[in-house]
Structure 1
Amino acid sequence: MPEQIIRLGVLGLRRPPVTRWGAGELLPMAVMMPEPATAANTRVMDEAGTETWYLGGRDLSLWSGDTAYYRDNLVSGQPRIWVALRGGDPARAQVVSVSADPNEGEGLSSDLDLIVGAVPMPDAVRAIVAEFVDCNHVEIPFKRRKRSPTALSEEEVRGGPRVLQPGDKWGSDRGRGQRS
């Protein structure tokens, strides 16, 4: 199965807490290609308490079996990359996954330990994904399965035998008189 790997850098945005008891909020903000030479978990910018962090790099794997999903993402009008982060502190947060597959992004969002966000797909990544889809997509036509006729016995046609026979029911004569 053909595969292509693209290395991406991930930027995160940390907003200040709304109350004095809050810890702030870390969200994926953007992906970059090529990955910068900056060390992971480095603060890049701070504007009025809103911080931009470089959280590290991660491989985006494109698989030929998922080209229909990539194509759906590309024709959506706003192609996205789904980024999954672990940890709310940007100094220690980890980039767990990046994906161009909307179904995988939805699956990642069901994990309560992860922070998942869909960020805009850069034009350079969009071109690579589009070329991968063009080269590897195979349209599989939908085939409706037909039921094969089965030979039923006369008992099965009538509805089969009763599960409980009259002697097995409560209140039948069977079983009476055994207790004293």
Structure 2
Amino acid sequence: MPVGVVVQRRPGVTRWQKWAYTPTALLPGAGPAHWKLLREDGDTAEFHIGTATLTLWRTDAEAYRIGLAEPVVCAYVILQPGEDEWPFKLKLITANPHEAMQYADGGEDVVEKVPMPPALVAWVQEWTDQHYVEEPFVKRKRKRYHEDKVEDGIGDPRIAQASDVYRAPSSARKNRLS
């Protein structure tokens, strides 16, 4: 589904940052746009910076359920630094919190949580209900024995030891101190 992103521009709070940009809204079914001015009120302005496709994957259905269980259901907007006159370029929109966390770990992209409109929540909920398959929990069982009946490691008789491996080499210590 194509989803547009609205970004609010406000004056920066420090002298090093002239403007602060924050994604504030999503527009489901929006057409293409590139930093189209939607509203201006004094120094504050809202732009439709672009439209990206929100794609849902079957393998991520469990992650979508986790996101839908939050008190405020959100999508994640990933912005990358822009190369032209605009400071950001829309990279991705996702409903998967795990995917958003991976982009946040990189440090180059800006990842913001934006509340989903009710129509988008209903679409994601319906898709997730159709495609989610619960996997049964299988407890892993430990083997309580050595398969080859032979112990490996320090006490293994197959490994030749010139001396006790836990003993500190006293001759090397004496040479360093001299």
TM-score normalised by the chain length of structure 2? 0.80
CA distance in 1, matches of 2:128, 2:16: 47
Offset of residue 158 of structure 1: 9.0
- Residue 100, structure 1, aligned to residue 85, structure 2: no
Unaligned 5+ runs, structure 2: 172-178
CA distance in 1, matches of 2:101, 2:88: 21
Change (3 A) 1:163 1:27: farther
Offset of residue 26 of structure 1: 1.3
CA distance in 2, matches of 1:159, 1:167: 12
Contact 2:75/2:113 (<8 A) preserved:
yes
- Residue 48, structure 1, aligned to residue 42, structure 2: yes
CA distance in 2, matches of 1:127, 1:152: 56
Taking the TM superposition and a 5 Å limit, the aligned residue runs for 1:71-86 are: 71-86=65-80
Taking the TM superposition and a 5 Å limit, the aligned residue runs for 1:53-72 are: 53-72=47-66
Partner of 2:14: 19
| Secondary structure at 2:106 match in 1 | coil
Contact 2:2/2:31 (<8 A) preserved:
no
Partner deviation per Cα, 1:152-178 (whole Å, 9 max, x = no partner)? 435549942486622799689xxxxxx
TM-score normalised by the chain length of structure 1? 0.79
Change (3 A) 1:83 1:33: same
Partner of 1:126: 121
Unaligned 5+ runs, structure 1: 1-5, 173-180
Q: Size of the alignment, in residue pairs?
A: 166
Contact 1:17/1:24 (<8 A) preserved:
yes
CA distance in 2, matches of 1:155, 1:117: 53
CA distance in 2, matches of 1:90, 1:99: 26
| Secondary structure at 1:68 match in 2 | helix
Higher relative contact order (CA 8 A, sep 6+): 1
CA distance in 1, matches of 2:170, 2:108: 56
Letter in 1 for 2:45: E
Partner deviation per Cα, 1:68-94 (whole Å, 9 max, x = no partner)? 111111121211000011127883521
Letter in 2 for 1:66: D
Offset of residue 48 of structure 1: 2.4
- Residue 137, structure 1, aligned to residue 144, structure 2: no
